[in-house]
A and B are shown apart, each in its own frame.
Chain A
């Protein structure tokens, strides 16, 4: 492996540069995935059958908490990558751990939110609207959950192997993924919750 020292560590080998470009392209596919979910959501949002409409079940408090946790985590992982660029392994690991803890908090709030909906009579099977709502939120939530595992593996690797071109590359790609989930959440917050509550 040839290491190009004029580049940041995560870009320093040929394979690293390929991995980053490949992951950007993968995110393009993810945009299509969530784009399709949103398009379907807008199609089905008023088709509530005998079930509740969005305004009847949405509650602002947990949603604001989720938004706060996820947006903060996205900022913190940015700090982590900055620490990585500076070569400060300890600070980087701390920021990554905080990121994942915020992520766990997000998932916790989302689960309680789902349970509340369920108690209020909005289940996966109630209507086209609730099916679509749970699928869209669930797909995002599943991505975050996967990210929690993925992130912890990367933390373990950086901790044990140090900052090498490989671990730096993995950390950087993970940060792209995490930022992406944050951006998707902004769309969910705006077009599902804000629009649904008015």
Chain B
């Protein structure tokens, strides 16, 4: 392909051109708005250079919501295309690109950052720390994720999106069958974001192991922090595998190596194995923190302590180990021996046991509790039956013999949405509402939030349950249309209606944020939900240093015991607090990463070399830099605390 023709969209349509215009207009509006309101300096000094874990968490949250919109638009387009037989809304190439990017965006650029948002915001507060272990590295993690996501997203306006599915199987993803640059975007965008995720894993593991408040032993950790600890370990073991797989994929595409080719000894199944050795644990990287969030929300709104703490921890550890022994269930039908299938069939089914333990623990927590039906609690209650249905169909899929019937049908699509949407999306939406006052100092409107919940839940059931039926009847996934004689039409129309309801729910979620910014009271107490763990012991919104005095922990639910059993949380006097300095380094380096990635996608070698040198110059500069951080003086702490009405509440 000629140099300039690589930048063109392979199959342009009016939809893509109008998106290009929309993107251009939005960028222009943002630039004009920032200039008009003179916010450039604020943006730079307050956000782009920040190393504060709370602000980084909020930036993750905003990115995740944006990506939820992008992935959601993809979903609506797909369901609209399939709503009636022989539809001509999208052509096959466009449909391929949409389902590929929908998968990647939703898993890697929506669910992951949403989880990271909550981990970043909540974990240091829950363990009574001032920040994470490596605040600068945390900023690098965020900006690498962000630049990776942006690089992936510009694919549909420059050069074309990946079209080989989110699992990007070779040889389909090789140069021969995917000649345009889409798959390059996939390989490099995910690589850049993946480095950021790996750094987050290292950062949070160190933080949780070393920075807990005095008295907080591992068996006194709040459940969300436990889940973050386990998740960090899975990230550290799983992401390097993805790194290697993506490097090999990139080299096959850019340098004509022979890893996954059909000829010259290449082995396409090696990609499938490496991808899923990462990809299966990735599912648990998403779901375990979600479980942790439910374990925070359910006790709070049941006014009972979590039932079976130890079995919750044990089941999580068990799941994390087992997540590495099941990857082959993703290709039962691709020609391996029957005994291999049997082994992976059994290991897959075994995961249902610890998960079942957790489900029962949540039910027992609610049992005899005084339940308050707030928005976060509604999401948690809705999660239990829906997730269980998803789990049961998962066990059906795990039966390798029967999988020859379901494989690559809509049944599978229904199954994984049935675990990921109630499991992860409900968790992050519920926890987003739950932690909103801690993040921003006001509550989200409950009435609109409940409407959003019901639209999402009913929409979800309508959208995905029909797919189980059409899947068992043989409707294949990834087919861009079907004929009328198949009889899939009416059920697909119901799916489309469900999708529309889910889209309305997203609009309502955005509206409740807008409405609450305008109308909600700014006068909320530090502990609006009457919660149980340490993050509620500090002010709303949280001051820069988190806790003016580091708390003393001597029970599992320290904050609850401080409120109702007279447990003393904050002992001693104010002392000056050491904090890290803001720095532009992470942002600048990640921008260079973006340029480097873009140059690689289009094989612009001189720019790639300049980018690579730029990245190393940033690292060298950092090596020589002297930065000892700064201190917050006792007077400043007293001033800040006085504005909130004093620390002494739990003292």
Binding site for B on A (CB under 8 A): 1, 17-19, 21-22, 25-26, 28-30, 32-33, 35-37, 40, 43-44, 47-51, 124-132, 135, 149-150, 153-154, 156-157, 170
Contacts and interface: CB of A to CB of B under 8 A. Distances in A.
A149 B468 CA distance: 57
A33 B257 contact: no
Contact of B244 (A17, A37, A156): A37
| Residue with the highest number of chain B CB atoms closer than 10 Å, among A32, A150, A153 | A32
B258 A128 contact: yes
B70 to A, nearest CB: 30
Given A49-B263, A128-B265, A153-B624, 16 more contacts: A18-B210, A19-B134, A26-B202, A28-B237, A29-B239, A29-B240, A32-B238, A32-B240, A36-B277, A40-B244, A40-B259, A40-B270, A43-B270, A44-B259, A125-B256, A150-B623
A30 B266 CA distance: 25
B255 interface: yes
A92 B593 CA distance: 35
The secondary structure that dominates the B interface is: helix
Given A22-B203, A44-B270, A47-B266, A36 B624 contact: no
A156 B620 CA distance: 12
Contacts of A33: 240, 243-244
A47 B328 CA distance: 22
A3 to B, nearest CB: 12
Nearest to A154: B623
Contact of B264 (A30, A35, A126): A126
B210 A129 contact: no
B251 interface: yes
Contacts of B306: none
Contact of B255 (A26, A43, A124, A156): A124
Contact of B265 (A48, A156, A170): A48
Contact of B210 (A21, A49, A51, A149): A21
Contacts of B209: 21
Interface string B330-370: 00000000000000000000000000000000000000000
Nearest to B273: A43
A25 B198 CA distance: 11
A131 B261 CA distance: 11
A17 B133 CA distance: 10
Contacts of A129: 265
Contacts of B251: 124, 131, 135
B172 interface: no
Interface string B616-634: 1000100110001000000
Contacts of B461: none
Nearest to A35: B240
A131 B257 contact: yes
A47 B262 CA distance: 11
Contacts of A18: 133-134, 206, 210-211
Give the top 9 A-B pairs by smallest Cβ distance, nearest first: A47-B265, A128-B265, A49-B264, A32-B240, A131-B257, A49-B265, A33-B240, A36-B244, A22-B206
A32 B202 CA distance: 13
Nearest to A15: B133
Interface in B462-498: none
20 contacts: A18-B134, A22-B134, A29-B237, A32-B238, A36-B245, A36-B274, A40-B248, A40-B259, A49-B258, A49-B264, A124-B255, A127-B258, A128-B258, A128-B259, A128-B266, A129-B265, A135-B248, A135-B251, A149-B616, A153-B620
Contacts of B266: 47, 128
A47 B201 CA distance: 35
Interface string B257-286: 111010111110010001001000000000
Interface of B: 133-134, 198, 201-203, 205-206, 209-211, 236-241, 243-245, 247-248, 251, 255-259, 261, 263-267, 270, 274, 277, 578, 616, 620, 623-624, 628
Nearest to B277: A36
A25 B255 contact: no
Nearest to A128: B265
Nearest to B257: A131
B267 A47 contact: yes
B195 to A, nearest CB: 10
Nearest to A157: B624
B86 to A, nearest CB: 43
A10 B202 CA distance: 20
Contacts of B261: 128
A30 B240 contact: yes
A35 B236 CA distance: 13
B255 A125 contact: yes
B202 A124 contact: no
A40 B247 CA distance: 12
Nearest to B623: A153
